[in-house]
Amino acid sequence: MTGIPPVVLDRSSGIPLAAQLADALRAAASGGGLRPGDRLPSTRELAAALRVSRTVTSAAYDQLLAEGWAGGRRGVGTFVLGAVPSAPVAPSPPTVAGEPARALVDLRAGSPCLEVLDRAAWRRAWRAAGDQPPDPRAEDAGDPGFRAAVAEHLLRHRGLVAGPDDVLATAGTSAAVGEVARLLPPGSRVAVEDPGYSRAVAALRDAGIEVVRVPVDDDGLVVDALPDGLAAVYCTPAHQFPTGRRMSAARRLDLVARARAEGWWVLEDDYDGELRFDVAPLPLLGALGPDVVVHLGTSSKILSPTLGVGWLVAPVPLRAELLARRTATAMRPARAGQRVLAALAGSGDLSRHLRRLRREMAGRRELVRAAVTAAGRVVEGDPAGAHVLVPLEDVATEEALIGHAARRGLGLDGLGRHHLAAGPGRRAGLVLGYAAPTRTELVDALPELTDVLGAHR
């Protein structure tokens, strides 16, 4: 077991111990005190060393897992994955002299809603996965049961017709983006949404790709703004991150048509695709253009990043290239999490969980909308997913609101950091997530949010 640099926790601070610990481990990973691949102590060992409860260490590890700084496999341990250079983490809330200490309620986007996860079903799935015999050989495409479960999931919940042979297991969306990017010639140009998902951008850049920024509006990615000479386009059409808009039907058709005409791939990140509350979702890009679209999905937001599992449906030529590269490098996603998801799907627990999750997220979205409206502000974004956008006048107001909220015990995220570059055209706003807290925490925090928003009118 790899040790960790000394950690000092200030019990007199208003910052929760779990947040302090997560900050310390994150700083160690950024500064080189912890390196990618280092194994972290178990939550029990670390709790004993720091003389805190396992609740503290577990919460800190869960935060790092959710942010992508660490990864874990059941029975093996938790490991440092390294810093995510384009996705800075919002600072822990400062304390102000004379103010009572308040626990941080995280209203940032990107975390799953663990409160609705049936823990008994979760344990059954892990037991079922563990009951299977050890693998006699590697499966470059992924566990057969997992691929069959994903094909059924895509048909039932996303309307995408795909067989098990069309599905490849991945280690998550960002990992899949990186895999596809490494098949492109070095220096290839890939267009991305701006503002957009910084981890996908980091994966592209890490593969030697030139990233081209393209604006989004109320209809999603502005297809007319795409330049010539692209190798691919990455987008989040179901629920654009972070604006919360969905790509219109006309834009989807235009995007697929241009991909065919100009010979590039479309990387469709189905972010929040399972979480639509008002009407049936529009046809997936993967259904409109199976010959040019690479459809990407993940279990991290609908279940937990603990599984480290995603999936990819791609045209046959690209799929063959991915498999050949996996065979040549022996780099492929682990099967344990795949088997857990397959067990959840096979028992019907995954479908039941998604129904509960949709109901819960719809209710939470309405609570957040009401709190924001009460402060005289508006909510943007479609009735879907686990976050909304509150537009603001300027970046200065955004920064002031985030600081004020931190002093009131609320962790908020600004739209500004999701732009790929500063300068003209950079919008300001708050990206409000409502999945991470418990419902009780959320309800208790929303009056504070209303007060903060109202104070900066």
Q: What is the CA radius of gyration of the chain?
A: 22
> Model-level pTM?
0.76
For position 113, what pLDDT does the model report?
Answer: 94
For the chain, give the mean pLDDT.
87
Inter-residue contact 284 to 268 (CB < 8 Å): yes
pLDDT level of residue 390 (50, 70, 90 thresholds): very high
For position 27, what pLDDT does the model report?
Answer: 78
Terminus-to-terminus CA distance in the chain, angstroms? 52
Beta strands 105-106; 410-411: pairing state: parallel
pLDDT tens digit sequence for 113-130: 999 999 999 999 999 999
Separation CA 185–CA 209 (nearest Å)? 8
Opening angle at CA 240, ends 178 and 446, nearest 5: 120
pLDDT tens digit sequence for 316-368: 999 999 999 999 998 999 899 999 999 999 999 999 999 999 999 999 999 99
Inter-residue contact 159 to 287 (CB < 8 Å): yes
Region of 263 on the Ramachandran plot (φ > 0 left; ψ -120 to 50 alpha; else beta): left
For position 63, what pLDDT does the model report?
Answer: 74
Distance of CA 253 to the CA centre of its chain: 26
Cα-based distances in Å from 38 to 41, 57, 275, 388, 405: 10, 17, 35, 36, 35
Instruction: Please determine, for residue 53, whether its predicted confidence score (pLDDT) is greater than 50.
Output: yes
pLDDT level of residue 13 (50, 70, 90 thresholds): low
What is the SS3 assignment for the chain?
A: CCCCCCCCCCCCCCCCHHHHHHHHHHHHHHHCCCCCCCEECCHHHHHHHHCCCHHHHHHHHHHHHHHCCEEEECCCEEEECCCCCCCCCCCCCCCCCCCCCCCCEECCCCCCCHHHCCHHHHHHHHHHHHHCCCCCCCCCCCCHHHHHHHHHHHHHHHCCCCCHHHEEEECCHHHHHHHHHCCCCCCCEEEEEECCCHHHHHHHHHCCCEEEEEEEECCEECHHHCCCCCCEEEECCCCCCCCCCCCCHHHHHHHHHHHHHHCCEEEEECCCCCCECCCCCCCCHHHHCCCCEEEEEECCCCCCCCCCCEEEECCHHHHHHHHHHHHHHCCCCCCHHHHHHHHHHHHCHHHHHHHHHHHHHHHHHHHHHHHHHHCCCCCECCCECCEEEEECCCHHHHHHHHHHHHHCCEECCEHHHHCCCCCCCCCCEEEEECCCCCHHHHHHHHHHHHHHHHHCC
Tell me how crowded residue 416 is: count the other CB atoms within 10 A of its CB. Answer: 20
Distance of CA 169 to the CA centre of its chain: 17
Cα-based distances in Å from 399 to 200, 262, 392, 421: 25, 41, 10, 17
For position 89, what pLDDT does the model report?
Answer: 39
Inter-residue contact 303 to 112 (CB < 8 Å): yes
Q: If you average pLDDT over residues 28-47, what whole number do you get?
A: 79
pLDDT level of residue 91 (50, 70, 90 thresholds): very low
**Cis check: omega of the bond before 195, within 30 degrees of 0:** yes
Higher local confidence (pLDDT), 280 or 427? 427
Cα-based distances in Å from 385 to 298, 303, 364, 366: 14, 13, 10, 12
Opening angle at CA 435, ends 298 and 395, nearest 5: 100
Instruction: Please determine, for residue 98, whether its predicted confidence score (pLDDT) is greater than 50.
Output: no
Pick one of 3.30.70.580, 1.10.287.70, 3.30.429.10, 1.10.10.10 as the CATH number of 17-80.
1.10.10.10
For position 256, what pLDDT does the model report?
Answer: 97
Domain locations in the chain as residue ranges: 17-80, 105-110+352-454, 119-347
Instruction: Please determine, for residue 3, whether its predicted confidence score (pLDDT) is greater than 70.
Output: no
Question: What sign has the CA pseudo-torsion 329, 335, 337, 338?
Answer: positive
The dotted CATH code for 105-110+352-454 is: 3.90.1150.10
Instruction: Please determine, for residue 85, whether its predicted confidence score (pLDDT) is greater than 70.
Output: no
Cα-based distances in Å from 212 to 228, 292, 395, 420: 11, 19, 23, 10
The dotted CATH code for 119-347 is: 3.40.640.10
pLDDT level of residue 2 (50, 70, 90 thresholds): very low
pLDDT level of residue 75 (50, 70, 90 thresholds): low
pLDDT tens digit sequence for 128-165: 999 988 888 889 999 999 999 999 999 988 989 999 99
Instruction: Please determine, for residue 92, whether its predicted confidence score (pLDDT) is greater than 50.
Output: no
Burial call 6-35: b when 16+ CB within 10 Å, e when fewer: ebeeeeeebbbbbbbbbbbbbebbbeebbe
For position 82, what pLDDT does the model report?
Answer: 53
